[in-house]
Structure 1
């Protein structure tokens, strides 16, 4: 009897362990069935949960999704450009900081002669004096005088040949030869004809220097009269290229009229440093020179006249941005204005690392134009926040990311409150939501999600 009781007592713990193990196995199998059973019946998602446990649910919604990021930027007038003087003399007048200088207006004065602003990309790099001189610097002068309302005459077309006037040694920029005699009309020398061996005096042939011809002009045997003691430097004919201008008699005459009006000596000659060639109208950012300083050094710095926003962007993120994209700019007063990306830099710079201990991430500078300049009328410079949107998906079905179930075979499904799994195709992920589509999925459908 004692043996029977002890055996029964010894078997009870073993039986208890078997029951507990069976229950645990059933729970594991039920969980596995929930994720994999949707393949039953030819892959149709029809598994139902047998329990009545409460779960968190979300509703499939139709909405717009977008990928965006917000970065720090700076409102200002853009990058400053240094202006250096290009000729000898002393500075006798300087503009005030913040002054706007436009085409034809003086940027500063040297020896009380104004140095006006012309728009262009090629500065004067030589003295423009000899008629027939051809190049992009001449085109800058021609284009600006035309914009200022001066009649410069017709310019030779691309491909034509130009007979260049010989250069006579003299004092650069004076319009006078080494012998001190003033040059002829429009700064040209006079050609003389060979004597007539019949004893009859011939008239001087017309001066064709600087005129356009379809073939290189033949200058063989042509002599040029020069002042005593000076030797002219002959120049070969040149062909007009795209982007060139030609110093014609009409253009020289226009230069004289403009110089007279601008308060400059009306010589018809322009030398290095007589003009300040800039990309457009400028705002004086700062003045480095002082009155009576030499005019061949740094004079001042200028910026654009239009306020814009610059944003340093990590090089890897800049690839999703492009010119013309719209952005939203948050101003210091918490108002928001719209802007457009107008430039994406191509020079990579390193940002300051946290704590200043070494180089940071490689960055590019993105330039943004503001659509409503009145919104920043009272600000010259300020920190701003810029929201970039790289992609937008409109009117799509979305659910919280927590509603997705990753399937062992790959892909995703969502679970309906009854337990059935429905395979879905995912699209954009944005701010905790994901775009989905699938059979039976529509706006208003409830799905199980993480709480």
Structure 2
């Protein structure tokens, strides 16, 4: 039996249902039309669709334009340092006895001041490089009466402006008095007499000979110190230094015996010590200018004064082990001590010039772009890219060079 499928007439106003193949073709046409419209919209938005008399232009890009400029780039490097008065050095105290007075730590002592007292006698600071190595006084060949005669002549020279050596003696000097062995000579005498004159004493000639006039001046000096007026300077009575000193920490208490580390001292000016990496200390050359930055942000100009010649291995390692580099001490002096304010010690940073490129073409680092073929380039105003070779980076700028790079060329900093 054949089954008959009844036919249903379409309702009025209703189109007949399309066949499946027809439906797929119609959907494809609609999608194609939408893609075409979108493409046209994009072209119009980019300004490539023509219309009117407008000329075609490159796509607009975000970012600002900057010129290539010629300037000097300076690479600055900072290292940690320690502000202070330097390493404490033991004073060469040669007096023997009991320490009866000590100055306060940090006190400043100048020429003619007492550094300490031993057996209640002052040990006085004088300036010089030659250490005290013997007593200074008249030789045994000079009698007491001759010494007193010399003292009177010295006082006469002091009052009347006549030098003791040129003053006429009151009596004919004996052979012992004129013997050269009775008068000490040497550079230590000259150094001492220079100090004695600087303290305001006169009546003698500042030279290498210790005369009766010198002895008379010594007695007046001893009287001012409240000491016995012997006219002789003992080996332990004075200590020499290059200039005024700052007292360090004592190595003995009051009442203790004088020893090798009785008292220490430092220089009187603040300085910075940097433990610089021995492998990277080429910047540390005597006379190199640096900038010292304090904890409060203030800055002071400094200068490399000395560089250690021996590298120190880090704790727990050996120099050259590679784990932690060995260091050398670099001392930086600050001429303007007022620039350091009231800070006497503490951590600081030292800034020095590592490398410098003078009068080179530069652009902001942000203007560099990575090229697909490798290396760096710059984007010009017309959207093209030019390859560049980079040099020194410093202060947010970079040195650039290349055949297409010139001063004044406008390049884009992309956002």
Task: Give the TM-score of the pair, scaled to structure 2.
Answer: 0.62
Q: Does residue 119 of structure 2 align to residue 119 of structure 1? A: no
Matched, 1:250 2:213: yes
Deviations 1:343-387 (A, max 9, x none): 12233232525xx44454232222223354345443222111111
State yes or no: 1:153 paired with 2:210.
Answer: no
* Paired position in structure 2 for 1:343: 305
- C-alpha separation in 1, matches of 2:187 and 2:343: 38
Provide, for residues 149-173 of structure 1, a one-character-per-residue CA deviation record: whole Å limited to 9, x for no partner. 22263345xxxxxxxxxxxxxxxxx
Q: Distance in 2 between matches of 1:68 and 1:431?
A: 9
- 1:56-71 equivalences under 5 Å are 59=66, 60-71=68-79
Rg larger in structure: 2
Per the TM alignment, residue 89 of structure 1 is displaced from its structure 2 partner at its CA by 1.9
Q: Is residue 381 from structure 1 mapped to residue 345 from structure 2 by the alignment? A: yes
In structure 2, the partner of 1:137 is 188
Say yes or no: does 1:294 pair with 2:345.
no
Are the structure 2 counterparts of residues 342 and 431 from structure 1 closer, same or farther at C-alpha, using a change threshold of 3 Å? closer
SS in 2 for 1:299: coil
* 2:372 is the counterpart of 1:364: no
Structure 1 position 439, deviation (Å): 5.9
Change (3 A) 1:287 1:423: closer
Flag the 1:153–1:318 CA change in 2: closer, same or farther, 3 A. Answer: farther
1:87 shift after superposition: 2.6
> Which ranges in structure 1 are unaligned for 5 or more consecutive residues?
1-50, 157-244
* 1:37-436 equivalence runs, <5 A: 59=66, 60-129=68-137, 130=139, 131-151=182-202, 153-156=204-207, 245-333=208-296, 335-352=297-314, 356-359=316-319, 360-393=324-357, 395-399=359-363, 400=365, 417=380, 428-430=392-394, 433-436=397-400
SS in 2 for 1:322: coil
RMSD: 3.6
Cα distance between partner residues in 1 of 2:345 and 2:107: 16
- Alpha-carbon shift at residue 135 of structure 1 (Å): 2.8
Distance in 1, Cα, partners of 2:328 & 2:203: 43
Query: 1:433: Cα distance to partner?
Result: 4.3
- Residue by residue over 1:124-170, the C-alpha shift from the partner in whole angstroms, topping out at 9 and shown as x without a partner, is 111222354233322321221122122263345xxxxxxxxxxxxxx
Using a 3 Å threshold, how does the CA distance of structure 1 residues 429 and 70 change in structure 2: closer, same or farther?
same
Aligned residues: 306
Shift, 1:450, TM fit = 10
Q: Unpaired segments of 5 or more residues in structure 2?
A: 1-57, 140-181
Q: Which has the higher strand share?
A: 1
Look up the SS of the partner of 2:195 in the other structure: helix
Do the aligned partners of residues 84 and 420 (structure 1) sit closer, same or farther apart at CA in structure 2, a change above 3 Å counting?
Answer: closer
Q: What secondary structure does 1:352 align onto?
A: coil
Q: Is the 8 A contact 1:73 1:386 kept in 2?
A: yes
> Structure 1 CA distance, aligned partners of 2:87 and 2:354?
26
